[in-house]
């Protein structure tokens, strides 16, 4: 395939795709060559533009993949929670506490144990804490402002459903290792390819559509007979694809070629 037929990407996520020309990310647009700048301006859509350029492309009316709406919630649990509440998406009870006075009221709303998270910029299980007593709470509050507190749903496993475009691209279970409350692969969880129930796939797909997210891994847990969306990961890992024998690069090549993304 010659360069004139390739789509344009900025970030390196699609660098291995034969039908993608990855230009890289320049913090100053003027650092792109005249040819590169013309390619960006004339492209119908820019793939993986980064949060910074996604906002600019949206302002000028240029389409991106992932969508501008997807980028708005990248690694921002506070925005995600507010959106889940607005859209009435089932989600563990969560509350954000700002400043010392509000933090002092955490115990008025939650009983030990509960989950505390670094609400922005954390991923792969980092910045997630199981708070079991007052000392744990003091330690966490010194680490994070604001405090993002969530009810603890002890299950030992959850489901990751990856939505690409408007379809479920992959779904699998994540089984937490012994003694670990988190089910992130990055902290040692095991990927299980046992079938994910259809109602969970539907919940993930409906959540992505309602939030206008088109490239996202949605984590869902079953607890006491109900399903809850834990969070959305726009920078999801590819280990689940590898375990299933799915070639992620070839998948993305095909979806671009077929106009699915």
| pLDDT at 125 > cutoff 60 | no
Residue 121's pLDDT is: 72
Say what the pLDDT of residue 1 is: 42
Q: What value does the mean pLDDT of the chain take?
A: 95
pLDDT tens for 132-191 read 999 999 999 999 899 999 999 999 999 999 999 999 999 999 999 998 999 999 888 999
Distance CA 54, CA 50 (A): 6
Q: Which pLDDT value is given to residue 186?
A: 84
Residues 241/170, Cβ–Cβ less than 8 Å? yes
Distance between CA 177 and CA 173 in Å, rounded? 13
- The answer on pLDDT for 117 being more than 90 is yes
- State residue 124's pLDDT score: 56
d(CA 64, CA 14): 14
pLDDT of residue 126: 74
Q: What is the rounded CA–CA span in Å between residue 143 and residue 145? A: 7
| Of the listed ranges 40-44, 106-110, 146-150, 180-184, the one predicted with least confidence | 180-184
Digit-coded pLDDT (tens) for 87-102: 999 999 999 999 989 9
Supply the pLDDT for residue 2. Answer: 44
What is the pTM assigned to this prediction?
A: 0.93
**Ordered domains of the chain (ranges, CATH):** 3-65 (no CATH), 93-151 (3.30.1490.20), 157-257 (3.30.470.20)
Predicted confidence (pLDDT) at residue 3 exceeds the cutoff of 50:
no
């Amino acid at each position: 395939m010659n360069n004139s037929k390739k789509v344009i990407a900025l970030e390196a996520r699609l660098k291995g795709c034969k039908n993608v020309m990855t230009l890289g990310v320049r913090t100053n647009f003027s650092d792109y060559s005249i040819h590169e700048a013309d390619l960006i301006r004339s492209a119908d859509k820019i793939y993986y533009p980064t949060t910074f350029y996604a906002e600019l492309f949206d302002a000028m009316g240029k389409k991106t993949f992932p969508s501008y709406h997807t980028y708005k919630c990248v690694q921002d649990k506070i925005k995600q929670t507010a959106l889940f509440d607005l859209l009435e998406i089932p989600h563990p009870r969560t509350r954000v506490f700002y400043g010392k006075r509000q933090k002092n009221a955490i115990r008025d709303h939650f009983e030990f144990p509960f989950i505390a998270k670094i609400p922005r910029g954390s991923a792969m299980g980092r910045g997630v804490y199981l708070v079991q007593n007052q000392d744990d709470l003091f330690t966490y509050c010194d680490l994070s402002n604001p405090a993002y507190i969530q009810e603890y749903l002890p299950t030992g496993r959850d489901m990751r459903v990856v939505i690409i475009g408007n379809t479920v691209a992959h779904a699998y279970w994540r089984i937490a290792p012994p003694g670990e409350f988190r089910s992130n692969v990055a902290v040692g969880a095991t990927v299980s390819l046992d079938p994910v129930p259809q109602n969970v796939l539907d919940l993930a797909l409906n959540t992505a559509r309602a939030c206008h997210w088109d490239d996202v891994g949605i984590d869902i847990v079953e607890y006491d007979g109900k399903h809850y969306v834990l969070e959305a990961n726009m920078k999801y890992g590819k280990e689940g694809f590898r375990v299933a024998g799915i070639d992620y690069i070839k998948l993305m090549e095909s979806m671009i070629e077929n106009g699915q993304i």
